[in-house]
Structure 1
């Protein structure tokens, strides 16, 4: 238990997790309403979908400079800067006169989200003892999910009380301001941990750019990284294909919302279980079961579209996908942390997140293309086949041993 005594969990927990929770709540209040905001400025349905996708695209582009930025200025300064940029994005979204400006604001919010997430990921990678790494990172992922879950619960009464979207925009602004204030006021966790453990700061060297980092780590990014991108793609696809499937088989909006809400609660409830399993039995148990579960669920779903009890099948498959997704909580951050240089993880984590975010961004595009060319059922089956490829990749390249064998 020496590692637990060495690392001051209680001393830094508030500084590590609370800003992440508050930032997530602010985003959670705003992000689900981006299509409605687009409609308010005259966007078509197709254009509203593109504007909503700009968040994921912004995160993907934000991964490009984030590793070098965090390595240069440090985690705390990068997070404060990201919150300031997110604050500016919220204001831009609030006063958008037309769709282009709104899309730009959402894109900038994605950039800020990428830097904020990588900065906290880099801190956890450097300082959390490896025997508790998966649980700590799963908790970080769970806190983010909690914020995205609580945010819409706040925005609903705000809209009811204010009669429009303006109150939601100010909610995002408020949570950005509170997050920035906490990052400034609370003790810097990096300084606290170094003082407690005597661990020196990372050496100051020229940060690597994304292209150089990818070239130097091509083998691991092209194997385990691709498997991780498959997991990210399946996660992203579940968020898209369930509501589309509900529309396709004629489920009403209230039932669709209930399905998404119940399965979202199941997903959130499992975040810490995933970390415990990975720390106890090895990382492969956080990767293979979710891949098998999501892949099997999507393949079964593809066979149920025209069945007389298709709605019941949707409930069952949505629950299976939620369980599989919940069991994968933290696995992408944990694998990235295991494979990064613990003395200077930010450049590699930027490349790692770029690869996984590329998978997440590509998945909705794949669904749209296959659905247009064939059918929604074919899109679900295609994703199931991709999941099978991910199983093969992870089985081949991810070490079977305990966490110390991975890095």
Structure 2
């Protein structure tokens, strides 16, 4: 009941993302307009994070996930009946908006229920559940396309997954009532001394703080450690654009590029639990910094190999290095967000935290495209890699301050 709904949601979403541009092209959209349709899903999630934090804080995790499943099902229905690109993009935006509620609800649940001793492993498994869809979804989409001969079969599959998720989270056993709700202690939290004196006066009640007030109270950690996390998300978001374009630029065919990217993705998916082990046993910094250095350094090095005789070999090598680095970063943004979230209003804080990290991943492809148009592919690739290396330095500076090790 903790990982199952997440896996179903991610698999369903992963099955429709690769085919959304194809459906848009069937409506007569040009390549640039077709690419905006899956981008609308990311924009919707970015816009939905802060409202999702408010919803989870007010309605609870279970109701928020039920609402997310219903809203995503509505988006799938719009997709099925869409006959033009704007309506298809609106459906994609709707799915992304409600996906944010699901993600924030599950992140909040793990933050408040999982003990600190194995929090990173639990959240790495949660991150692996999200990655499961990105890894298996395209294969399921290809299989349904071969069987049914229409791209809309994947949308029907996504709708079925949303019905399953809605039924599971609404009528299945509720983990909130079966697992203790006592929050895990913060790493920097001091234990109050019991003086033995009698308590006089009224017992203080927990104040419910609004979304923007929570953001203001935590502005320092969000503007410092949050920006470091956004830089790591930026490198993650760029790799899906950089690697295919780099392969095309050095003259590789589509099958070879797909093979290289697929191998890197397999390593990425295989290492998601290793990241949790490293964080729980050695500390968060030993996953955050190496992953940022590996991905950022690989992109910077790749920028110098475009015209060398062994360009294809170096492309394969650095793609694998990026895959390993991304695998080691699985769950790190979830875990650090959980570590620094305030105990009184974790949902609203996590909504703001996820907005910052999602913004890093969402804006990087736009920055990459702009730098490529103004300068060259190599300059754009090196610039994104430099962002990752700067993020590693930021983690070294701010992680020990805001999320000190045990």
Matches within 5 A, 1:86-101: 86-101=72-87
Q: Name the structure 2 match of 1:146.
A: 132
The superposition leaves residues 256-294 of structure 1 with CA deviations (integer Å, 9 ceiling, x where unpaired) of 111121111100000000011101111111210011101
Q: Name the structure 1 match of 2:196.
A: none
Q: Name the structure 2 match of 1:9.
A: none
Q: Choose the corresponding residue for 1:124, options 102, 110, 114.
A: 110
Secondary structure of 2:392's partner?
helix
Q: Name the structure 1 match of 2:201.
A: none
Q: Name the structure 1 match of 2:194.
A: none
Matches of 2:210 and 2:98, distance apart in 1 = 20
Q: Name the structure 2 match of 1:371.
A: 372
Matches of 1:343 and 1:136, distance apart in 2 = 22
Matches of 1:251 and 1:288, distance apart in 2 = 32
2:234–2:388 Cα contact (<8 Å) kept: no
Matches of 1:351 and 1:79, distance apart in 2 = 18
Shift of 1:204: 7.6
Q: Which runs of 4+ in 1 moved over 2 A?
A: 203-207, 211-214
The superposition leaves residues 196-231 of structure 1 with CA deviations (integer Å, 9 ceiling, x where unpaired) of x799xxx8854512x332221111011111100000
Shift of 1:151: 1.9
Change (3 A) 1:174 1:42: same
Matches within 5 A, 1:202-241: 206-209=208-211, 211-241=212-242
Matches within 5 A, 1:222-301: 222-301=223-302
Shift of 1:343: 4.2
TM score, norm. by length of structure 2: 0.92
Q: Name the structure 1 match of 2:34.
A: 48
Change (3 A) 1:23 1:204: farther
Kindly indicate whether residue 27 of structure 2 is the aligned counterpart of residue 26 of structure 1: no
Task: Name the Cα RMSD after superposition.
Answer: 1.8
Matches of 2:208 and 2:280, distance apart in 1 = 33
Matches of 2:355 and 2:41, distance apart in 1 = 14
1:125–1:342 Cα contact (<8 Å) kept: no
Matches of 2:51 and 2:268, distance apart in 1 = 31
Of the structure 1 ranges 145-154 and 317-326, higher mean CA displacement relative to structure 2 is found in 145-154
Shift of 1:21: 0.5
Change (3 A) 1:198 1:289: closer
Kindly indicate whether residue 60 of structure 2 is the aligned counterpart of residue 74 of structure 1: yes
Shift of 1:146: 1.2
Matches within 5 A, 1:312-327: 312-327=313-328
Structure 1: 5+ residue stretches without partners = 1-14
Q: Name the structure 1 match of 2:148.
A: 162
Matches of 1:235 and 1:79, distance apart in 2 = 26
Q: Name the structure 2 match of 1:334.
A: 335
Of the structure 1 ranges 72-81 and 145-154, higher mean CA displacement relative to structure 2 is found in 145-154
Secondary structure of 1:223's partner?
helix
Q: Name the structure 2 match of 1:344.
A: 345
Kindly indicate whether residue 24 of structure 2 is the aligned counterpart of residue 38 of structure 1: yes
Matches of 1:149 and 1:392, distance apart in 2 = 30
The superposition leaves residues 363-389 of structure 1 with CA deviations (integer Å, 9 ceiling, x where unpaired) of 101100000000111001111221222
Shift of 1:40: 1.3
Q: Name the structure 2 match of 1:62.
A: 48
Structure number with greater Rg is: 2
Matches of 1:213 and 1:26, distance apart in 2 = 33
Matches of 1:395 and 1:294, distance apart in 2 = 16
1:126–1:344 Cα contact (<8 Å) kept: no
Of the structure 1 ranges 25-34 and 151-160, higher mean CA displacement relative to structure 2 is found in 151-160
Shift of 1:308: 2.1
Change (3 A) 1:263 1:343: same
Kindly indicate whether residue 291 of structure 2 is the aligned counterpart of residue 305 of structure 1: no
Matches of 2:60 and 2:207, distance apart in 1 = 12
TM score, norm. by length of structure 1: 0.91
Matches of 2:118 and 2:393, distance apart in 1 = 27
Q: Name the structure 1 match of 2:190.
A: none
